Structure 1
Amino acid sequence: MSVSASLRQAFAPYGCLRASINLGNPILAGLDPANGKPCGVSVDIARALAERLGVELELVVWDAAGKSVEAVQLDQADFGFFAIDPKRGEQIAFTDAYVLIEGAYLVSEHSSLRSNEEVDRPGTRVTVGKGSAYDLYLSRELQQASIERAPTSPAVVEHFLTHGHEVAAGVRQQLEADALRFGGLRLLPGRFMVIRQAMGLLRNRGDEAQSFLAGFVEEMKASGFVADALNRHGIKGASVAPLQEAG
């Protein structure tokens, strides 16, 4: 994949490639306890992209998905790692997915809810991270239950407990960890959605940049880079997305 001057300009018009990193999704990024610096699957991929383009990398770090998306939309970052969603797609051009993540529901161990299908009923309040993929998806899909928004995805379970809501929704891995931390909670079996996590940049960066990024993601999957990154960071609850079918 050769890099032209115009392509480099499209990705890094300010000379440095700015990656929007969301620390609110523990499957993709977090802070290294040894040095406090961002690390994780998305950080590794961002570094690989910067190396491929031959430019310096700057990590622009956020605590929530909505803020990470907004950073790209407001030209505070050049690209990011986002769950594919039609609302976000109005401004952002997505690659195909590189990772698949399960979305799950968490309830009190005393809850009468036993299945995902029982959640959407009158009187059920579902806590989600504001602006997260779960917020966008459930806001469209739930017909009878109501949505309650925590400031960030990592704060969902605490918000759910503090306000006495019936259901918390989010990344399975995060919910499992919080269930152990708080106690008295259980996950509903199965999943209510699969998040297709992709890379994206503003559509106005041009067709050449969009095509390059799409090809880069397919190469990262095919080469084993994404799988190696998931293993290296000890990530459970996520899998490498299938390669995009030709044509």
Structure 2
Amino acid sequence: MKIIAALLFLLISPASFCQPMNQIDPKMIQSFAPTGTLRVGINLGNPVLAGLDTATQKPKGVTIDIANEIGKRSGIPVELIPFQTAGSTVDAIKTGNIDMIFVAIDPVRGADVSYTPPYIQIEGAYMVKANSSLKTNEEVDRSGVEIVVGKGSAYDLYLTREIKNAALLRAASSQAVIDDFMAGKGNVAAGVKQQLESDAKRYQGLRMLPGRFMVINQAIGIPKARPDYEKTTTYLSSIITDLKSSGFVAEAMKRHNIQGAKVAE
């Protein structure tokens, strides 16, 4: 009876549901990483997702942990390729120079990029000068207001659709938003809440408007131009679902001291 019980345990244990490496569709992996190495675009412009280790100057963060785990489960080496903006990672995946990115889900990007379910939710916020008359997010979209936003960012794409009366002034990157703002460009800065709060420490006389103007769902993206991209998306979606439910994403956020974001549902 003990032997039978042990066999039953093996059959129903979680490990038995893990797909053996040799059962992963080789055609799908070839489509996913055609060079034999998984080339991953890392956006250093969003501190919630990634940054540079001060000691090694190598990328570190939640997206790096997820990328390495995907490579481990897929049996392929991972090459991390840093970019300064999300838009530049999208451009690189369109040209086939990289295989996978971590990016906000957006319908404009969705024309070329296939998304997994989100793994993290973060907030977009507004920052103003301390003496600004603006008190709420709802007051921003009015004539005479100029919003500085990183070109090609999720916030740029969202505000381009939603803003009706205010004007958008595009900085070269999300990191450049506050510098442009403090140099006299515009009267509202828009971006990742954590990025704005971090940048504001370099200056005085700034304040955040309360709340948020959007919620950003961050997901993995792969190029739709690849063969079997739908099968690859399903494969990556199953990994992301597991990494969320197992606590992997939450632990990564804790390890990298990510505040103000949450694991996506």
Q: TM-score scaled to structure 2, two decimals?
A: 0.90
Cα pair 2:148 2:185 within 8 Å, conserved: no
* 1:192 matches 2:197: no
Distance (whole Å) between structure 1 residues aligned to residue 40 and residue 235 of structure 2: 16
Partner in structure 2 of residue 169 of structure 1? 190
- Partner residue of 2:240 out of 217, 223, 243: 217
Residue 185 of structure 1 deviates from its aligned partner by 0.1
Cα pair 2:104 2:216 within 8 Å, conserved: yes
- Partner residue of 2:264 out of 234, 241, 244: 241
- The farther-off stretch of 70-79 and 160-169 is 160-169
Partner in structure 2 of residue 103 of structure 1? 124
Partner in structure 2 of residue 42 of structure 1? 63
Distance (whole Å) between structure 1 residues aligned to residue 121 and residue 264 of structure 2: 6
Distance (whole Å) between structure 2 residues aligned to residue 121 and residue 16 of structure 1: 49
- Partner residue of 1:11 out of 18, 25, 32: 32
Partner in structure 2 of residue 232 of structure 1? 255
Deviations 1:88-126 (Å, cap 9, x if unpaired)?
000100011100001000000000000000000011110
Q: CA RMSD in A?
A: 0.9
Tell me which amino acid in the other structure corresponds to 1:21.
Answer: I
- Partner residue of 1:158 out of 171, 174, 179: 179
Residue 161 of structure 1 deviates from its aligned partner by 1.4
Distance (whole Å) between structure 2 residues aligned to residue 218 and residue 164 of structure 1: 42
Task: Note the residue ranges of structure 2 that are not aligned, 5 or more in a row.
Answer: 1-18
Distance (whole Å) between structure 2 residues aligned to residue 122 and residue 33 of structure 1: 43
Q: How many residue pairs get matched?
A: 242
Residue 164 of structure 1 deviates from its aligned partner by 3.5
Larger radius of gyration: 2
Partner in structure 1 of residue 115 of structure 2? 94
Structure 1 runs of 4+ off > 3 angstroms? none
Residue 208 of structure 1 deviates from its aligned partner by 1.3
Distance (whole Å) between structure 2 residues aligned to residue 136 and residue 197 of structure 1: 14
* 1:204 matches 2:239: no
Distance (whole Å) between structure 1 residues aligned to residue 204 and residue 262 of structure 2: 27
Task: Note the residue ranges of structure 1 that are not aligned, 5 or more in a row.
Answer: 243-247
Tell me which amino acid in the other structure corresponds to 2:247.
Answer: G
Q: TM-score scaled to structure 1, two decimals?
A: 0.96
Partner in structure 2 of residue 25 of structure 1? 46
Partner in structure 2 of residue 53 of structure 1? 74
Partner in structure 2 of residue 245 of structure 1? none
Deviations 1:176-205 (Å, cap 9, x if unpaired)?
112222110000000000000000101233
Distance (whole Å) between structure 1 residues aligned to residue 95 and residue 203 of structure 2: 37
98 and 122 in structure 1: CA distance in 2 versus 1, 3 angstrom threshold: same
- Partner residue of 2:102 out of 42, 60, 81: 81
Residue 163 of structure 1 deviates from its aligned partner by 2.8
Tell me which amino acid in the other structure corresponds to 2:252.
Answer: A
Structure 1 residues 66-145: aligned runs within 5 Å: 66-145=87-166
Tell me which amino acid in the other structure corresponds to 1:57.
Answer: V
